[in-house]
Amino acid sequence: MIQLTIRVVPRASKTGIAGIRDGALLVRLQSPPVEGAANEELIQVIAKAFGVTKRDVAIVAGEHSKLKRIAIGTVDRRHFELVLKSLGISRQDLKVSS
């Protein structure tokens, strides 16, 4: 299991991973932060980006905050780093734990 810090930007014009901000993966979401809509979209975006099912992604901390800690259950470190590299992101710039 890999855990990483994510900074969410709700109500963005375009959904997707947008880089790094202050050691956190920056994810833009079109959904508003109302009734868990942004959290659900975040789980979908992360699951799709890392090639796992939605049930393998969980918000560990920060459910009601823009700064969140998420866990990805079934991804190995090598695949995780390949996905980050394909996004132009260095693992060293992120707060990641396994």
Whether the Cβ atoms of residue 39 and residue 46 lie closer than 8 Å to each other? no
Q: What is the pLDDT of residues 26-51, one digit of tens each?
A: 999 999 999 999 999 999 999 999 99
Express as a percent the part of the chain with pLDDT over 90: 78
- Write down the architecture of domain 2-97 according to CATH: 2-Layer Sandwich (3.30)
pTM, two decimal places: 0.91
pLDDT band, very low/low/confident/very high, at 53 (cuts 50, 70, 90):
very high
pLDDT of 39 reads 96
Alpha-carbon dihedral sign for residues 51, 57, 61, 62:
positive
Instruction: Over range 75-93, report the average pLDDT.
Output: 88
The mean pLDDT of the chain is 92
